[in-house]
Chain A
Amino acid sequence: MSLLEVCDLKKSFDKLHVLKGISFSLEKGEVLAILGASGSGKTTLLRCLNFLETADSGSIKVNGEELLGGKINQEILRKKRLHFGLVFQSFNLFPQYTVLKNVTLAHELLASERPDYKARKKEILSEINENALALLERVGLSDKKDAYPHQLSGGPCQRVAIARALALSPDVLCFDEPTSALDPNLTGEVLKVIRSLKTSDRTMIVVTHEMEFAHSVADKVIFMANGRIEEEGTADEVFKNPKSPLTREFFKSFRF
């Protein structure tokens, strides 16, 4: 059984069909890169997986559990969202909190719902704190833990956002063009962090325009066009030997 199975996912806004039946599956520990021109539906796909949009039809299964359909209320949505993490193009850090608090906030709020929270409050909070510090260490920002987001440039901000998304240990971590808002100098450090996160048990989906990065990190590559999967395969298959003319056309516009 795959960790993530997406089947015939459809989404339209009014008359605009953005996703016209997307299917793919992902094993635990795999990295999927999604490529495609702007407007091909990549971001909408990630937003549907993270339940920021609700897909119209199809199926999203995590560890065999169907997430789409059924009753939807705030509590149910929250549970579904926790299967996924999302790193935004524009970081969306919380400006009034320090780097450390950005990472711990959601975790603390979630922990406060635990039945043993009152009895073990101190212990739980210090665990959360330790966990956050370890994550900041991983993204190389231990020394910036007390800084505020506006004091950091884009690269470090995105690394904080990555640590924040990791704090809740989602089953699948999604990146929505994580380096598109960064200049080339800063892009490298963020890609390096994402690359370093690739371990046997961390499953990731990366929407990106960084072809070299996608080629070297991804186990699977999907090329999307007009709301459909135009081509899919291993990184080598798609990059070295694209079958679809649309894919070939798309790669032509990138220099390697």
Chain B
Amino acid sequence: MSTLASQFPIVVRSLNLGFLQSLRLFFVTLIGALPLGLLISFGSMSAWAPLAKLGLRKRAATGKKTRFTKFCAEFRPISLIVRVIVWIFRGTPLMLQLLIIFYFPGLVWGNNVWGSGEAGRFAASCIAFVINYACYFSEIYRGGIEGIPRGQYEAGQVLGMKHSQIFRRVVLLQVVKRIIPPMGNEIITLVKDTSLARIIALQEIIWAGQAFMKGSHGISGAIWPLFFTGVYYLVFTGIVTLILGAVEKKLGYFKA
């Protein structure tokens, strides 16, 4: 029977390795989902309505507003498709998405694209997390962008700026400032959500902590390592909170 003191260094070394994997998943998700989310938000706000002209012509010809002309005016296929995708990824558990992305190719197509190693599990986790979080981020971006007063765009327009210049030079920083609080929420949730990858046996920190219950590195039946993983999450979310606070403070020089 080993003592807690003798177990401690062994457990910490193992948990450190596990947390490193958690952090990798966290950063890859962030780097992937932040830009992808912006792209998705553009998609969901797309105003492209290919039937609008047809509807207007029909209306001009008949002089009447019908269900058909209304449909033509409001049918925005890109926005529709993107919003359905966002609905699916926000509407189902991330854990389920992980399972489907990891097992579907092997079980249904008979072609396990992920292989059997840790690298494959990590790649599958990254894809599930990036898509899932990009969908959440996209809604935050959309809220931020739609919250910018129209006068800001119009001021840019009458000053002869291009759409892209108005977005990059006028709107973007105001959006960033507005979305930091809700983004911070999501990012802190992401720190803890990385533990969901345990379900496909990614060797992140929960997996590493649990291993000491069954037996690992000569220690078995120990539950405290699993409980102790909470400290890692707490410390890291603390650091993230500090960083978000610093960014918020840095953007405090103007009011939007």
A residues apposed to B, CB below 8 Å: 50-52, 74, 78-79, 81-82, 84-86, 88, 90, 92-96, 105-106, 109-110, 148-150, 164-165, 168
Contact = CB atoms under 8 A, between A and B. Distances in A.
Q: Which 9 A/B pairs are nearest by Cβ-Cβ distance?
A: A106-B159, A92-B151, A92-B155, A150-B255, A86-B158, A96-B254, A82-B160, A95-B254, A96-B173
Interface string B151-179: 11011111111110100011001100100
Contacts of B177: 96
A20 B71 CA distance: 30
B60 interface: no
Nearest to A79: B160
Nearest to A85: B158
A106 B256 contact: no
Given A95-B174, A95-B254, A95-B256, A81 B160 contact: yes
Q: Chain B binding site: helix, strand, loop or mixed by DSSP?
A: helix
A167 B163 CA distance: 20
Contacts of A168: 159-160
A50 B160 contact: no
Interface of B: 149, 151-152, 154-163, 165, 169-170, 173-174, 177, 253-256
A164 B154 CA distance: 14
A94 B170 contact: yes
Given A92-B152, A96-B173, A50 B158 contact: yes
B158 A84 contact: yes
Contact of B155 (A74, A82, A88, A110): A88
A17 B226 CA distance: 70
Given A78-B160, A79-B160, A95-B254, 13 more contacts: A50-B158, A81-B157, A84-B158, A85-B158, A88-B154, A92-B155, A94-B170, A95-B255, A106-B156, A106-B160, A106-B161, A109-B161, A109-B169
A108 B173 CA distance: 18
A92 B253 CA distance: 18
B158 A148 contact: no
A110 B161 CA distance: 8
A95 B160 CA distance: 19
A40 B250 CA distance: 45
Nearest to A77: B157
B106 to A, nearest CB: 49
B160 to A, nearest CB: 5
A93 B170 CA distance: 10
